[in-house]
């Protein structure tokens, strides 16, 4: 049977909504496994989080459903049929489609959700999904993802005034990578973020944990409504 998926051998061309939805599904499979797969309502909540999302988005449930449907056509998401479920739920197929172990899924999810990042930032932000012993372990994962066909990540040129290179996912196509590279150039013109940036990340991480707990509790309560 001929493969009709829009994802070609030359690469990917997911739009921003599809990228966000896929990132949320991968992330939540790690963070809230008891509430996974996710309903459209839960996916929408994850997409529109104010923490650990760059950029922050405001997608409607209809927009999320459309993105999910397109990802199903691309065979990156599937609908999980559960006899006891009152609403449809969905799961990602990245592990099966691209043979990615947990460490690689975690790195890809954070890149999908937060854009260009250094290996050090990825190690810190992946902690709730997968714990890396050191930055070298993250580098190894990035290298393996870059060697996939088609490649899933790439390294951006080092921006002026920075010591570390940043890495981006390639699921949005060449145009999306160019936009991220330009945004990095503008964002790093004034130098590194320093200690203030680290504290901001810590606050975001704590807020994210609180939101995840609230989301899991809300999904749990729905079982008894």
* Domains of the chain and any CATH numbers: 16-97+214-219 (1.10.10.10), 98-203 (1.10.10.10)
Residue ranges of E strands in the chain: 38-39, 77-80, 89-92, 153-155, 167-169
Distance of CA 176 to the CA centre of its chain: 15
pLDDT at 175: 63
End-to-end Cα, the chain, rounded Å: 44
Degrees, nearest 5: CA angle 109-110-113: 85
Alpha-carbon torsion (95, 55, 188, 210), positive or negative: negative
Cα separation, 154 vs 146, whole angstroms: 6
- The candidate with the shortest Cα–Cα distance to 26, out of 85, 95, 88, is 95
Residue 202, pLDDT score: 60
- In this predicted structure, what is the pLDDT of residue 4? 40
Q: Is the peptide bond before 129 cis (omega within 30 degrees of 0)?
A: no
Structure tokens at 216: 């899991």
pLDDT at 6: 44
Q: Which long-range contacts (CB under 8 A, 24 or more apart) does 50-53 make?
A: 50/207, 51/204, 51/205, 51/207, 51/208, 51/211, 52/113, 52/114, 52/125, 52/204, 52/205, 52/208, 53/20, 53/113, 53/114
Note down pLDDT in tens along the chain; length 225 residues.
334 444 444 578 999 999 999 999 999 999 999 999 999 999 999 999 999 999 999 999 999 999 999 999 999 999 998 777 789 999 999 998 889 999 999 999 999 999 999 999 999 999 999 999 999 999 999 999 999 999 999 999 888 888 899 999 999 987 666 666 666 555 555 444 555 555 566 666 667 767 777 777 777 777 676
Element (H, E) at 140: helix 135-146
Q: Which residues are CB-neighbours of 52 under 8 A, at least 6 positions away?
A: 113, 114, 125, 204, 205, 208
CB-based contact 39:223 (threshold 8 Å): no
Count CB-CB contacts under 10 A for residue 195. 8
* Sequence-ordered list of residues with C-beta below 8 angstroms from that of 132, at least 6 positions apart, any chain: 103, 123, 126, 138, 141
In this prediction, residue 53 carries a pLDDT of 97
Model pTM score: 0.78
């Amino acid at each position: 049977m001929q493969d009709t998926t829009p994802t070609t051998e030359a690469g990917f061309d997911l739009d921003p909504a599809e990228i966000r939805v896929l990132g949320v599904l991968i992330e939540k499979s790690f963070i809230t496994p008891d509430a996974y797969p996710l309903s459209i309502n839960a996916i929408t909540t994850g997409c529109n989080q104010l923490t650990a999302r760059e950029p922050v988005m405001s997608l409607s449930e209809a927009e999320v459903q459309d993105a999910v449907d397109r990802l199903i056509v691309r065979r990156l998401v599937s609908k999980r049929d559960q006899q006891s479920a009152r609403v449809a739920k969905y799961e990602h197929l990245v592990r099966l489609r691209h043979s990615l172990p947990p460490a690689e899924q975690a790195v890809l999810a954070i890149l999908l959700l937060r854009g260009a990042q250094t290996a050090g930032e990825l190690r810190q932000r992946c902690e709730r999904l997968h714990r890396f012993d050191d930055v070298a372990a993250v580098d190894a994962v990035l290298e393996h993802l870059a060697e996939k066909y088609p490649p899933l990540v790439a390294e951006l040129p080092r921006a002026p005034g920075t010591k570390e290179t940043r890495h981006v996912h390639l699921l949005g196509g060449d145009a999306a990578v160019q936009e991220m590279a330009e945004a990095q150039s503008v964002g790093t013109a004034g130098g590194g973020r320093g200690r203030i940036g680290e504290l901001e990340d810590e606050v975001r991480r704590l807020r994210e944990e609180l939101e995840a707990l609230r989301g899991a509790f809300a999904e749990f309560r729905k079982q008894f409504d």
